[in-house]
Amino acid sequence: MTLVGKKQYSSVCIKWIHLYCRYGRKDTGLNRGVEMKKVSKWTYLLLFLGTGVIYLSCVDHWEVYTKPLAQAKNWYQNLEVEEKLLAYTNNVQAAGEPSFIVGKQEGQDTSPDASGIDNMETSDNQVPGSGRDEPISIGDEGGTADEGETGKENPEGAESGGETPPDSPDKPEADEGSGDGSEGESPEGEASEGGAADEKVPEDMGPRYMTVEDDYFADAVFIGDSRTMGLFEYGDLEETAEFYCSRGLTVFEMFEAKLASVPDSKKKISVEEALQQKSFSKIYLMIGINEMGGNMPPWVEEYKNAVEKLKELQPDAIIYVQAIIKVTAKRSAQGDYITNEGIDLRNEAIAQLADNEKVFYLDVNPLICDETGGMIPDYTTDGVHLKAKYIEIWKDFLKTHAICLDE
């Protein structure tokens, strides 16, 4: 090869090398960059999903989906009831037996389908976990009716009427039911049958409650600690009632805590300022679990002062002092400051503050506790706070225990 040929060959090789270094490496780097971007995109997505799963599993315990699932379940149950009712109606119309429907209206429960629908409607009214219907709050009124009927069922002097006076000599209705016909035996000389019983019932019975809907809480305020926070978050009342609550709140700092939001502002004011600016008809107070480690007498005194201050700030409001919700038996046995025995002592002190005129005591513990006296373990994740789906038990209890002040 001549010198000229060698120079030309060398120049061509140099050009190819130059082109490779200029474009080949750039293309390779570009491809690698695209691949790295794809890997980064999937990595971030997987990290995001993994973080969400860890949070929902370990922290939230998937409670965020409890409310939508409960709503979907209720919708499905209502739809199933409507379908069965529609099918029953179509069957009756196809059979052409209107007399069957009349028989049902007259109280003859001869239809299996009809009785099933009634049962389903009744189960919808049951308080979850209690096994009882919602109108449990009016049991006192039912007792009053039973007493009145008992006095009227033995007008001719049945044997039970003759045995009653020795056991309860202070009941004039038993004397009237004995058939003697003497009105002079009545201690107060009342002429009407059952009149004395009707007058004595209000002395023996406690507060009279009624069942209400969610709008009853439209002029109510809930004050409390993390338990009340749970009612706020999962009770579907955040748009209806006011909530002045926070985790770790105690009765000693209740009025100074800045928990009340100011409309059209990010600023928050103290509970005392909020109660001075806005009037409420009902006040629900649930507080005390965070003070379990302190001495009880100062706490009782401070709780009493708080109730008196609520009366001053809201003179027209009914005050519901709620019992401290108990913890599970396992949590109580850990040996620290939170024990169910201590909660019972504080609840007894709270109950003594109720005068049944302006201050009323409510205790939801019987509905959420088992035979050990502690909270049902399945109702909680940490032994202290109710799961979201069991907040409904507490809410339904409040709805069936609205005080009835009508005389």
Q: What are phi and psi of 263, to 5 degrees?
A: -55, 140
Kindly indicate the confidence band of residue 179, based on its pLDDT and cuts at 50, 70 and 90.
Answer: very low
Among 67, 12, 316, 111, residue whose Cα is nearest residue 1? 12
Hunting for tokens 């107070």 — which residue is that? 285
Q: How far apart are CA 66 and CA 68, in angstroms?
A: 6
Q: Angle at the Cα of 243 (from 329 to 318), degrees rounded to 5?
A: 90
Going by C-beta distance under 8 Å and a sequence separation of 6 or more, which residues neighbour residue 141?
Answer: 208
User: Greatest CA span in the chain, whole angstroms?
Assistant: 153
Pick the more confident residue, 206 or 239: 239
The amino acid present at 208, given as its one-letter code, is R
Q: What is the pLDDT of residues 11-37, one digit of tens each?
A: 666 666 665 555 554 445 555 555 666
Q: Taking residues 315-325, what's their average pLDDT?
A: 97
Q: What is the pLDDT of residues 260-301, one digit of tens each?
A: 998 888 899 999 999 999 999 999 999 999 999 889 999 999
Q: Name the average pLDDT for the chain.
A: 73
Kindly indicate the confidence band of residue 324, based on its pLDDT and cuts at 50, 70 and 90.
Answer: very high
Q: How far apart are CA 379 and CA 393, in angstroms?
A: 10
Tell me 155's DSSP state: T
Return the SS3 of 362: strand
Query: What is the rounded end-to-end Cα distance, in angstroms, of the chain?
Result: 125
- Looking at the predicted structure, is the pLDDT value of residue 53 above 70? yes
In this structure, how many other beta carbons lie within 10 angstroms of the beta carbon of residue 212? 16
Paired residues of 220 in beta bridges = 282
- Looking at the predicted structure, is the pLDDT value of residue 200 above 50? no
Q: What is the pLDDT of residues 62-76, one digit of tens each?
A: 666 665 666 676 666
CB-CB contact of 194 with 154 (8 Å): no
Pick the more confident residue, 151 or 32: 32
Q: Taking residues 78-95, what's their average pLDDT?
A: 63
DSSP string, 171-198: -HHHHHTTT---GGGSTT---STTHHHH
Q: What is the pLDDT of residues 87-131, one digit of tens each?
A: 666 665 665 544 433 333 344 443 434 333 333 333 344 344 443
Among 318, 312, 332, 320, residue whose Cα is nearest residue 380? 332
- Looking at the predicted structure, is the pLDDT value of residue 157 above 50? no
pTM: 0.54
Burial of 401 (0-12, 13-18, 19+ CB in 10 A): buried
Report the pLDDT value the prediction gives residue 93, as an integer from 0 to 100: 61
Q: What are phi and psi of 20, to 5 degrees?
A: -65, -45
- Looking at the predicted structure, is the pLDDT value of residue 150 above 50? no
Q: Angle at the Cα of 234 (from 384 to 383), degrees rounded to 5?
A: 10
Q: What is the pLDDT of residues 332-369, one digit of tens each?
A: 999 888 999 999 999 999 999 999 999 999 999 999 99
CB-CB contact of 383 with 62 (8 Å): no
Q: Angle at the Cα of 288 (from 317 to 230), degrees rounded to 5?
A: 80
CB-CB contact of 185 with 172 (8 Å): yes
In the chain, pLDDT over 70 holds for what percent of residues?
53
Tell me 279's DSSP state: -
Report the pLDDT value the prediction gives residue 177, as an integer from 0 to 100: 39
Hunting for tokens 């409310």 — which residue is that? 67
Going by C-beta distance under 8 Å and a sequence separation of 6 or more, which residues neighbour residue 246?
Answer: 225, 226, 229, 257, 259
